[in-house]
A = this chain, B = another copy of it.
């Protein structure tokens, strides 16, 4: 019924895209009740890791898991929700420093356990050794130039 099995190199790519899609969707479902998206959560985590100074906008963008050209408006939304505060830098007035607020920290604290449980559940089909192998293989893939 299904078409002929794809050649090995296509199978890899399909598997990666499918896995990521599933993970993203299940992640979004986890965060949706808390009124944030996966990307917003990632920003908050990055900012929690950068307390107390915070980070300026483009530095956050660089640390995102996924490329995020719309970082400004993403942080706009977090600021509107009161989870992030922004201040224009005094030394270099082009930069904007972003910091997580106490409300943002409280939200992350509420999410820490569920997220960790989610992550563990997501990989429970693989032994620790296989998890390392998988990470290593994907690392090799990404080392490719271009």
Q: Which residues of A contact B (CB under 8 A)?
A: 3, 8-26, 49, 65-67, 119-126, 128, 130-135, 137-144, 146
A9-B120, A123-B9 given; A16·B138 CB < 8 A: yes
Q: Determine the chain B residues whose CB is within 8 A of the CB of A131 once the complex forms.
A: 8-9, 11-12
- A contact face: mostly helix, strand, loop, or mixed: helix
Q: Chain B residue with minimal CB distance to A46?
A: B3
A126 touches B119 (CB 8 A): no
B122 touches A144 (CB 8 A): yes
A17-B65, A134-B134, A137-B130 given; A142·B22 CB < 8 A: yes
A138 to B8, CA, bound (A): 13
B130 touches A140 (CB 8 A): yes
A133 touches B132 (CB 8 A): no
Contact partner of A67 among B21, B121, B122, CB < 8 A?
A: B21
Q: Determine the chain B residues whose CB is within 8 A of the CB of A25 once the complex forms.
A: 67
A49 touches B3 (CB 8 A): yes
Q: Determine the chain B residues whose CB is within 8 A of the CB of A3 once the complex forms.
A: 49
Most buried by B among A13, A121, A133, A139: A13
B119 touches A144 (CB 8 A): no
Q: What's the minimum C-beta distance from A81 to chain B, rounded to whole angstroms?
A: 23
A140 to B12, CA, bound (A): 13
A139 to B18, CA, bound (A): 10
A57 to B146, CA, bound (A): 36
